[in-house]
Structure 1
């Protein structure tokens, strides 16, 4: 008779082998989880040692490089440019000729006023002669009237004529003074057709060409001719957020990195902080409030623009810094403002400081003692949060939660004012373990292999 299935013995053997395999897998998992073979080794953490360190608090911002002083030149008279002896980038001295405007109409105006002035002078002399004659006749009539040799009517007529001629002469004199004032104004306008540099500096922008007609700014804003900037004194104008501006003060030192010189740092100093805010996105969820801060670049720069003499002098005084950056208006730059420094203070890595809710711990302790009462009372109010800054100190293989008071921080470390002493081992990672999972008294296993690799550059 043929076989129709497996024998019962083999079936039992296969079932037994499967059961052994399942038991083995469960044993491995239980051992890994700490259910078998002793207690769990604890949560794996990374640590660092609290140490003394000098911490400098930094506020970072970005902006544009601009001259500290930039003068915009506009003509006071209108006309055609007939002479433009400068070009953009030229260095000029105070009093150098910059622009000459065609003077023909202003010279013609002077000639016309001169002619009017001569005519008025002749009229004034005529009025003077009439006044002298009227004065003589009045004196004569006054003498005769006193001796009763002239009638009162003749005396009054002579007096009236004298006063009229006197007023006529004064009017002619005032008219001549008015024409003289017009002449002075015309001469001044003629002088304004020649525009000279008001200061030493560099032509940072030239907005016109020879032959163009320009509009004077007598009644309105005139045509912009050019800009003269002091390129030896450049500054960075940055926008600082309202949350950081309270930490910035005039005189704070800064490190400046210009996009044009990415591998170099330049020194600066805060010179001015705006009182008025610049608000963008007002009335929306993206509203941002910034304040303008001006930072003078104190590293020698733009020496070539100030002339070879100054460049050679500075290079001789500072041979180790012979490199002179050439900054131009509008260049982008990033600054790190050093707002405060604490010397030799206890510090830990920033990520070591986390936050825990102490009210939650108290609520859990209370609920353990009053479980039945809490279950019966459905209206039990949750306690208000009591968030405090803490670090976890490793002691005897356990994480001990310690409340701390912090001070200033830099990019990597934060000052500890109280709660931690130097050389204590502090938990700094991982982020998930430190921020969520780790609790007071948890067993921990220190593994700093990743940190050692990062420190060695692997």
Structure 2
């Protein structure tokens, strides 16, 4: 029969104590690794930056297409078959150069027909003139006889009426001749319009027809588009600017233009036109967008001689040192534009992320507020419960002084892509918290202890 080993009270106590020590050690390690312990003395880890004087340029960005500033769309005024087309797309043409001819047979025949009708009507005019002279002679004779009472009054009235009728016939024949002469002039003009010449100097940027095609004249409706003549050395970018940004844009604002076809190059431009009427898409839906068309002239020289003519030669832009190459823009190219709407010089500025928003209503009540409208007299509900106050949102930054984050209300001005102007609240040289985002937006409070570690955030950004 075996004996059970008895554990002494002392041994049992030592075992329990050892287990407790191990649990406390493990718990402490976990708490420290999770940040629950050991951080109270140092405070929240933050990144800071010094407020500094900086020049800030406010930008409005938009995208659009390149097009010529001057573009003439040619349509025929007469219909017919194209029998001659001596130009092709991309050709440079001068004013009055021949562009195309339309078959003139129908219009030549109409002129001959109208000429024949005019000759016939002129003959009728001569006949009407002879009849008028005869009626006038008869009327004069009858008037003399009537005055001598040699004929009756009825005979006199009959001669006078015949004379007046012949005068009217002669006038009608004259008017008919004038009408046919006008028809003849119109027929000649239509014949002249079968030959189309360039209305101005420029480049044929689009050619929509070929020799042998039939085209429709624009007498009572829009005619066939033949071609477009553009000034390729005068290009502009047409962009759509949102209604929220259009109030900041004004004619004369300078711009930086990036063209997809020429990456890593910046071209200069200037705002020339701003539309007064909006272009609305998705009207009546949640996706409704209201934009305004803005035209921006490209001021950087960008076109070389295109057809041996010196009219389109531009001075080479200094975009590539030692190179005389100048890019040639074409209609329809995509471009992105940054419009410089306002610039301020040597103003106190901070990185944009340094400015956050805090609800000052929480300071007086300790209760998180919402957007419910509450009057000053309504401080409790009917059951004596607390009413959530109205929000009092203000822009603030956190200034670091002696390891303490102090909340400071600020007024802001314009901003660029990275910095924002501070109108009041801080001065140049103040150390301001700029990160992390979670700390600034939610965790950091007025009076919190902070530990500045800018290197940690730089390492995180690099990784």
- Name the residue aligned to 2:202: 201
1:342 to 336, 344, 353: 344
Matches within 5 A, 1:199-238: 199-238=200-239
RMSD across aligned positions (CA) = 3.0
Q: State TM-score, norm by structure 2.
A: 0.89
Counterpart contact for 1:54–1:344, Cα < 8 Å: yes
Matched, 1:422 2:425: no
Deviations 1:45-68 (A, max 9, x none): 000000000000001111111112
Matches within 5 A, 1:61-100: 61-100=62-101
User: Displacement of 1:160 after TM fit?
Assistant: 2.4
- Name the residue aligned to 1:390: 396
Matched, 1:448 2:454: yes
1:408 to 414, 427, 438: 414
Deviations 1:342-370 (A, max 9, x none): 1100001100000111001111299xxxx
Counterpart contact for 1:34–1:40, Cα < 8 Å: no
Change (3 A) 1:312 1:156: closer
User: Displacement of 1:2 after TM fit?
Assistant: 7.4
Change (3 A) 1:238 1:35: closer
For 2:35 and 2:189, how far apart are their aligned partners in 1? 99
User: Displacement of 1:4 after TM fit?
Assistant: 7.3
Counterpart contact for 1:77–1:193, Cα < 8 Å: yes
Matches within 5 A, 1:269-308: 269-305=270-306, 307-308=308-309
SS in 2 for 1:304: coil
Change (3 A) 1:375 1:177: closer
Change (3 A) 1:71 1:39: closer
Matched, 1:379 2:361: no
Counterpart contact for 1:76–1:217, Cα < 8 Å: yes
For 2:67 and 2:384, how far apart are their aligned partners in 1? 66
Counterpart contact for 1:303–1:310, Cα < 8 Å: no
Deviations 1:286-309 (A, max 9, x none): 221111111111111223337552
For 1:317 and 1:436, how far apart are their aligned partners in 2? 49
Change (3 A) 1:73 1:49: same
Matches within 5 A, 1:5-84: 15-28=16-29, 40-84=41-85
Q: State TM-score, norm by structure 1.
A: 0.90
User: Displacement of 1:212 after TM fit?
Assistant: 0.7
Deviations 1:88-128 (A, max 9, x none): 11111111111100000100010011111111111111111
User: Displacement of 1:150 after TM fit?
Assistant: 4.3
Deviations 1:159-214 (A, max 9, x none): 22222222221111111111111101111111111111111111111111100111
Deviations 1:117-149 (A, max 9, x none): 111111111111222222223223323333344
Matched, 1:173 2:174: yes
Q: Could you list the runs of 5+ residues in structure 1 that have no partner in the other structure?
A: 367-372
For 1:431 and 1:253, how far apart are their aligned partners in 2? 34
User: Displacement of 1:281 after TM fit?
Assistant: 1.7
Report which stretch shifted further, 341-350 or 291-300: 291-300
SS in 2 for 1:305: coil
SS in 2 for 1:299: coil
Report which stretch shifted further, 303-312 or 198-207: 303-312
User: Displacement of 1:155 after TM fit?
Assistant: 3.0
- Name the residue aligned to 2:353: 351
User: Displacement of 1:445 after TM fit?
Assistant: 0.2
Counterpart contact for 2:66–2:335, Cα < 8 Å: yes
User: Displacement of 1:451 after TM fit?
Assistant: 5.1
The count of aligned residue pairs is 451
Change (3 A) 1:27 1:313: closer
Report which stretch shifted further, 230-239 or 429-438: 230-239
For 2:267 and 2:3, how far apart are their aligned partners in 1? 93
Report which stretch shifted further, 5-14 or 94-103: 5-14
For 1:306 and 1:444, how far apart are their aligned partners in 2? 69
- Name the residue aligned to 1:369: none
- Name the residue aligned to 1:330: 332
Change (3 A) 1:385 1:36: closer
For 1:347 and 1:262, how far apart are their aligned partners in 2? 31
Q: Could you list the runs of 5+ residues in structure 2 that have no partner in the other structure?
A: 369-378
Between structures 1 and 2, the one with greater helix share: 1
For 1:297 and 1:325, how far apart are their aligned partners in 2? 12
User: Displacement of 1:33 after TM fit?
Assistant: 8.4
User: Displacement of 1:14 after TM fit?
Assistant: 5.3
For 1:316 and 1:180, how far apart are their aligned partners in 2? 59
